Every structure is written in C-alpha cells, then in structure tokens.
Chain A
Amino acid sequence: MLINLFTQTFSGMKRFILRIVLFFSIILIADVVLGRLFSFMVSHAVGGDNGRVNYICNQTNEDMLIFGSSRANHHYNPQILMDSLSLSVYNCGEDGNGIILNYGRLLMIEQRYMPKYIIYDVSCGFDLETNDNHKYIGKLKPYYERKGIKDVFVSVDMTEKWKMLSQLYRYNSSFLTVFDDYLHPNQSMGFQGYRPYEGKMDVRTINSKKEFKKHVEYDSLKLAFMAKFIEHCNDVKMIFAVSPVWYGRDTKRLRPVIDLCKQHGILFLDFSNDSKFVHNNEYFKDDYHLNAQGADEFTKDLIQELRMREII
C-alpha cells in the first residue's frame, strides 16, 4: 500500500511538472508571437504616441530639441521658436517622465546626429527626487535592443534584464496604444511634438494654502544620468529652464542642477517665480501646466531671454 501511495504521488508530481512545463511553453509561444506582432506594429506606427516616439528616436533632425516632462511638452511651442529663431525645432517632452527616459532617448538620437541646441525643462520630481524609477523606463522598453539602452534598464533595476526576456513585458500596459496607433495612422503627433493644453484652469480646484515639501531626497541615479546627459551634449548648446508654475516655486530644490550648470557653463533660466505667470489663472490649465495661451507667452519670453543673453 505504501509503495502504491509512493508511485501514485510520484506520478502525480511528474504529471504536475509536465503540465507546468506545458503551460509555460504555451505562454512562451504566445509571448514570442504577440511580442513580434507588437514589435512590428510599433516599428510601423506613423501616428499617435508611438509614431511620435518613433520619430523622436529614429528620425529627428531638427536644430533644436526640447526635452523634459509634460511641462516641456505642453509649454514650449515649436512654431513660435521656429518663426522667431529661424531654426527647426522638435518638442520631445513626455508626460510623467524625466531624465531617465530623456537620457535613453538622447542615446538613440546621438547615434544619428546631434542637434545644435537642447532646451531641458527641469522638474524636481522627475529629474532629481527619489521615487520609483521603474515608471521612467516604460517608454524605452520597445527600444531595449538599441545601443546603450540595456545599461539604462540595468541601472534602474538589475532584474530588468531578465524581465525584458519576455516580449509581452516590453509591451506591458502599452499594447492598446500600439494597436490604436497602428490601426489609425492619421492620429496626431502634435505640432512638431508639441501638444498644447486648451482651456483655462478652474480656480476652485486650487488650494491656495498648499504647503510644499521642504526636504527633498535626491536620487543619486537621476543625478548621475543628468551628469551623463550633459557630458553627451558636449558639442551642443544646452539650456536648462524651469517653466512657470502657478504657485511659484522654491528653486533651491533644484540646487544639484544649478551646480551642474555652473560646473559646465550651461545657462540656467528660471521662470518659476515670474510675476507675469504666478497666480495668473489666464495662463494655466492646472497648477503645474500652462494652457496654450500661457505656453505661447512663455515661449515668447524665453526667446526674448535667449536673445538678450545672446545665446542664439
């Protein structure tokens, strides 16, 4: 009876392991097939978010590139910059992202060319402060095989190189946009990447007594990427800027960037406390983002500042 029990349970284990192997084999096949499909769709996307990212990584050839977070994307109007400076301009700003994504993109761009000018709109949360860095590599996943990108992933998390073996993981949370952009190639990529916010802010959602964090814990990884970004832009005229904030902002929090700018002789322009914008509801969509009107005004002021300082 004991022998019977042993052979039964042993065959049960064998069956269990075989089924686990079968299950993961099917998942592996699905992973490869769906991964290839998504990869094809991304590489052939000519519109929408994926078309825009493809353009940034594979086709940009403009004289000036704008980098940064959503504040870069919605605040710098390339049309005004192009008309005023007689330069071609592309806005590479990306919502919810900072130096980690931007450094990765710069690595891909520099394989083809380097722009003459780069404006980097810096924000403490995305470029300096310690927070979960995994979210910043999401948009680099489809470009993992490109030169240097793997190192960015490994710097964020050693286990990423194993996770990236899965093709499905590369399109995690983005496959719907991939489908959409492939099936609807005429979707807008914004004007030269710029996507203005229309409308005005609702003041009722503003907390005028808001208290700001006094202490910032700086992320050494982000600072290292920031320093590398500057190193890679040796032959590029770089400008770091802080675009307006409805509340105004304590720029002391950006001290590490200001120090880097001083060290490398880079211009640092701070518009965050500009009285023209602070608490001016006309120019904002919300407390951190200018609307189209505000963006136009800010871009004009920026050009004036650049001209005054004879940068361009």
Chain B
Amino acid sequence: MIFNSFNFIILFPLIFLLYYAIPAKYQNARNLFLLAVSYLLYLQWKPIYALILLGVTVVTFYSALAITKAKRPKWTVTVGVLLALFPLTFFKYFNFINETVSDGLAIVGLNFHLAGLNWAIPIGISFFTFQALGYLWDVYYKRQEAEHDFFTYALFVSFFPSILSGPINKASLIIPQLKQLRPYFDYSKAVEGLKMLLWGMFMKVVVADRVALYVDTVLPSYENYTGLSCFVASLLYTIQIYADFAGYSLMAIGVGKVLGFELTENFHRPYFAVSVTDFWHRWHISLSTWLKDYVYIPMGGSRCSKLRNYWNIFVTFLVSGIWHGANWTFIVWGCMHGICQIVEKILGQQKCNYGWFGKSVKIIITFLLINFAWIFFRMPTLADACKVIARIFDPTLPTTIYKPEISNTFFMVSALILLLLKDFRDEYYPHRILLFENRFAIVRWCAYILVMILIMLEGVFSADQFIYANF
C-alpha cells in the first residue's frame, strides 16, 4: 500500500476499525483478517502476481518443514532457496542476464539472443523473497523453529505495511508477535505509530518529493545543465533517497505499531555516519542485517584471514548491488561501497577516534563518498553516470546554477532545514527540545498540527511512487 496515496487515507481507517472490531481473544481471526487485507491490497497492483507471492510463501513454508525432517537438510534448503529465488531471478534479472550473455557471446563472434521480457516486475518481490529466504535459512541454521501454521507464516511474508519496500523483517521478530495473544489495543504504541506515520509522511511528501522536482529536472537532461547544477542535483538526490526510503520505512513501522506490531528499525540517521562502514549500520538496516547474517557470516565473516575478510566484504556488497537492480550501475554502486569499506578497514578508519572537528570532517567525507556513489545508483547507464561526474569536475563549464522558481526553492530549503534540525537533535541531543515527545500536551499538539498543515500546504501530491518500490 502506498502510504502517501488517497487510497491509504480512505482504506487505513477502515482497516483499523475492522481489525479492532475483532475481539483480542479471537487472535486467529485477527491474523486471518490481516492476511486477507494484505493479499487484497497486493491484488490491487496486478492480480496475477499475487500467485508469485503465494508461490514463494508455499515453497519456503514447506521447505522449512521439510528441513526439520530431512536427512540431508543442506539439499532441502538448497532446493527451497533455488525455487524461492526463481521468480525474482526470472522477473528481475532475465533481461539483464540475457543481454549480458548476448553481448559476451557477440564479442567472440557468436550471435545468440533470446527475446527479452516486457513484463512488469512484481511489486515488492525483492523484499518478500529475501524475508522468506531469511526465514528458511534461520530454520536451517536452527535459529528459528519451523512454523507449522501456514496462515501465520503467510501473514509474516505478506504483511501489508512492509511488503512494498520493507523493512525486511526477521521471522524471530514477527512470528512470535503473530502467535502470542496481543492486547486488544495498546494506546501508547498506537500514538507512537501515528507520530511515526506523520513524520514519515513529512519526509516523503514535503522533503523527498519536493527535492525530486529539482533532481528530476536536472539529472535526466544533465547535458543541458552546468557541472555545479549537476553537483547540487546529486546532493539533493542523496537527500531525496534518504527522505523517500526512510520516510516510507517510518510509515510502515508506524502503521505496524497502530495495529500493535513492532517491525524492524530500518534507518538511524545515516548521513551522520563517520565512515561508509558506519553508514551501513544506519542505512537500510534490515537489508544490511540480512546480508550480514546470510551472506557475510556464512562466507566466514571476519573470522578468517584478512584477505578473505576483504573478499567477504566485497562479495556482500556486490550482492547488495545486484539486489537493488539488474543494471551495471547498481553493481558498480555496490562494489564502490564494498571497496570503501575494505579501504576503511585497512586504514582502521571504520570508527571515529577524533574530537568533534575530526568527526565533522569524517562525516563530510563520508557524505561526499556516498553522494558520489549515489550518482551511479540514480543514472540509467554507466555512461550517463560517468558523464555526470565528468560534468561536475569539468572546469571549463560555467559556474551558474539552475534555480527553480523562488517559492519552490523556499519550500525545498525550509524542508531540508527542518529535516536536518530534527535529525541533528535526534543524533546529538535526543532529550532536548522535544516536540512530539514533549511532556506538555499543548506543545505536542502544536507540533502535530503544524507538521500536518505543512504537509497539506507544502507536500507534493502527485502520483509518484516510492523509489525503493522499484526494487
């Protein structure tokens, strides 16, 4: 469900009321209701793709059960993983693999080309597949008991707040919540959820979508803009992707809380990171945890030789790049993050052992490195990314800058300042200048109302999707 859509404003109160109309003692009925809602919302996009969601759920559910009984669980888990990965590979990577193989063969003079697919990728496929695979491996590594109730498991895979763009929840976090008797209604959790929903909405429609107006003007036609404009657009894209994805995650976690669930935290003010390694402890935490648990550690993690450890880091971030999309730009982006972390490890720069000045310098350097990598993430091809970078560093280009109309600039700058102040406060002074958490109700309410009015007056309400919904 797209949280900044009109449908959400209409449907969510309805879901809320119907859900809480079911008495808490009928826990299974409540779970079945959420499962039905999750599938109905998924069916809205492309009904046939719900079969893929169901297929991945069935395969991983029965594979997990089979692992517990199998004599050779390694074989069972391998078959289960391959089957669960098949739709993701087919829909997301077929064209990429096909083109790469054809291009490779063409180099040696062989002309072999299969027709490409022209199908839309099932929405959220990377998220629910990885969530289901995580469960399967947890059962295999005996970190999680196999779930015997299919409907509980199906709800874990398809839970509507997180199916579109995560967080990628661990079974050990969600399944116990689905199984234990939840209180009828948790007032403080619901209020906390609404606050997250409100701030997440602010981040998405007031910050991300406003900044996107600049980014989407400059970067697609970068040839017509100066290097300085391209640089500013790249900085703004860095902010856009954060506000977009962290905003979505906050809303997903908020919706979960309103319904009484705790989902995985996904962001922790990533642009205050002092190194790229630190960045990955703060950015898309659920994915980096997944990659650590199911790629990095099984390969040996850091309990091996230095060289092997560097290789493990590199492969982990290569997988991260591939997960994001079937394009060389994502692979280069992933490799850059891997290489940066290896260099930091060699130089012992993963943490910050300096004073505030050194820390500030490290934060700025990390931000610029990450910003540089985002250029590859944003541009459609490697050639385009390289051309944008070349423009940024081209001294012969004029130093003029693209300026949107003055009101747009005001909205953009004011939204960025508000976001920066909020994140700065949360990072360094979490117990000062409290607004949403102020002990005086009047201050809290003024803050809620002000943010809501800002959303209505400054928000960009077009038909835009969340960036990560494409992955």
Q: Interface stretch among B166-174, B221-229, B280-288?
A: B221-229
A273 interface residue (CB < 8 Å to B): no
Minimum Cβ distance to chain A for residue B11 (Å): 12
A132 interface residue (CB < 8 Å to B): yes
Q: Are A12 and B186 in contact (CB under 8 A)?
A: yes
Residue of B at shortest CB range from A210? Answer: B223
Q: Are A204 and B397 in contact (CB under 8 A)?
A: yes
Partner of A9, one of B185, B224, B408, B410: B185
Contact A204:B398 (CB < 8 A) given known A13-B184, A134-B461, A174-B407: yes
Q: Are A134 and B184 in contact (CB under 8 A)?
A: no
Docked Cα-Cα span, A132 to B209, in Å, equals 14
Q: Are A204 and B456 in contact (CB under 8 A)?
A: no
Q: Which residues of B388-409 have CB atoms within 8 Å of chain A's CB atoms?
A: 396-398, 400, 407-408
Residues in B with CB closer than 8 Å to A15 are 187
Q: Interface stretch among A23-31, A106-114, A264-272?
A: A23-31
Minimum Cβ distance to chain B for residue A13 (Å): 5
Docked Cα-Cα span, A159 to B20, in Å, equals 27
Q: Interface stretch among A82-90, A162-170, A190-198, A295-303?
A: A162-170
Residues in B with CB closer than 8 Å to A30 are 449, 453
Docked Cα-Cα span, A166 to B459, in Å, equals 14
B183 interface residue (CB < 8 Å to A): yes
Docked Cα-Cα span, A101 to B183, in Å, equals 52
Minimum Cβ distance to chain B for residue A181 (Å): 11
Docked Cα-Cα span, A307 to B231, in Å, equals 49
Minimum Cβ distance to chain B for residue A122 (Å): 21
Q: Which residues of B367-400 have CB atoms within 8 Å of chain A's CB atoms?
A: 396-398, 400
Q: Which residues of A5-27 have CB atoms within 8 Å of chain B's CB atoms?
A: 5-6, 9-10, 12-13, 15-16, 23, 26-27
Contact A172:B407 (CB < 8 A) given known A166-B456, A204-B397, A287-B224: no
B458 interface residue (CB < 8 Å to A): yes
Contact A205:B449 (CB < 8 A) given known A9-B185, A12-B185, A166-B456: no
Residue of A at shortest CB range from B397? Answer: A204
B428 interface residue (CB < 8 Å to A): no
Q: Are B224 and A26 in contact (CB under 8 A)?
A: no
Residues in A with CB closer than 8 Å to B408 are 173
Minimum Cβ distance to chain A for residue B468 (Å): 19
Docked Cα-Cα span, A168 to B449, in Å, equals 13
Partner of A173, one of B186, B224, B407, B463: B407
B299 interface residue (CB < 8 Å to A): no
A135 interface residue (CB < 8 Å to B): yes
B101 interface residue (CB < 8 Å to A): no
A312 interface residue (CB < 8 Å to B): no
Docked Cα-Cα span, A6 to B461, in Å, equals 40
Docked Cα-Cα span, A244 to B224, in Å, equals 17
B457 interface residue (CB < 8 Å to A): yes
A286 interface residue (CB < 8 Å to B): yes
Q: How large is the interface on A (under 10, 10 to 19, 20 to 34, 35 or more residues)?
A: 35 or more
Docked Cα-Cα span, A171 to B445, in Å, equals 23
Q: Are B457 and A175 in contact (CB under 8 A)?
A: yes
B190 interface residue (CB < 8 Å to A): yes
Q: Are B183 and A9 in contact (CB under 8 A)?
A: yes
A305 interface residue (CB < 8 Å to B): no
A235 interface residue (CB < 8 Å to B): no
B452 interface residue (CB < 8 Å to A): yes
Question: Could you mark each residue 151-171 of chain B with 1 if its beta carbon is under 8 Å from any beta carbon of chain A, else 0?
Answer: 000000000000000000000
Residue of B at shortest CB range from A159? Answer: B6
B191 interface residue (CB < 8 Å to A): yes
Docked Cα-Cα span, A133 to B184, in Å, equals 44
Partner of A207, one of B224, B407, B452: B224
Residues in B with CB closer than 8 Å to A175 are 457
B49 interface residue (CB < 8 Å to A): no
Docked Cα-Cα span, A176 to B411, in Å, equals 9
A177 interface residue (CB < 8 Å to B): yes
Partner of A176, one of B184, B396, B410: B410
B328 interface residue (CB < 8 Å to A): no
Docked Cα-Cα span, A23 to B422, in Å, equals 22
Residues in B with CB closer than 8 Å to A169 are 456, 461
Minimum Cβ distance to chain A for residue B30 (Å): 14
B448 interface residue (CB < 8 Å to A): yes
Partner of A202, one of B184, B398, B449, B463: B398
Q: Are B411 and A173 in contact (CB under 8 A)?
A: yes
Q: Are B186 and A206 in contact (CB under 8 A)?
A: no
Q: Are B462 and A172 in contact (CB under 8 A)?
A: no
Contact A27:B460 (CB < 8 A) given known A12-B185, A13-B187: no
Q: Are A202 and B400 in contact (CB under 8 A)?
A: yes
Q: Are A5 and B183 in contact (CB under 8 A)?
A: yes
Contact A172:B191 (CB < 8 A) given known A12-B186, A162-B6: no
Q: Are A205 and B457 in contact (CB under 8 A)?
A: no
Q: Are A16 and B190 in contact (CB under 8 A)?
A: yes
Residues in B with CB closer than 8 Å to A132 are 462-464
Docked Cα-Cα span, A118 to B234, in Å, equals 42
Docked Cα-Cα span, A23 to B460, in Å, equals 22
Q: Which residues of A174-230 have CB atoms within 8 Å of chain B's CB atoms?
A: 174-177, 180, 202, 204-207, 210
- A–B pairs, 6, beta carbons within 8 Å: A9-B24, A9-B184, A23-B449, A27-B456, A171-B457, A173-B460
Which residues from chain B sit less than 8 Å from chain A, CB to CB? 6, 20, 24, 183-187, 190-191, 223-226, 396-398, 400, 407-408, 410-411, 445, 448-449, 452-453, 456-464
Give me 15 other A-B pairs in contact (C-beta within 8 A), A6-B184, A16-B185, A132-B463 excluded: A15-B187, A23-B448, A27-B456, A30-B453, A132-B464, A159-B6, A166-B456, A168-B456, A169-B456, A171-B457, A172-B459, A173-B407, A173-B411, A176-B410, A205-B398
In order of increasing CB-CB distance, the 5 nearest A-B pairs are A207-B223, A12-B187, A9-B184, A168-B456, A159-B6
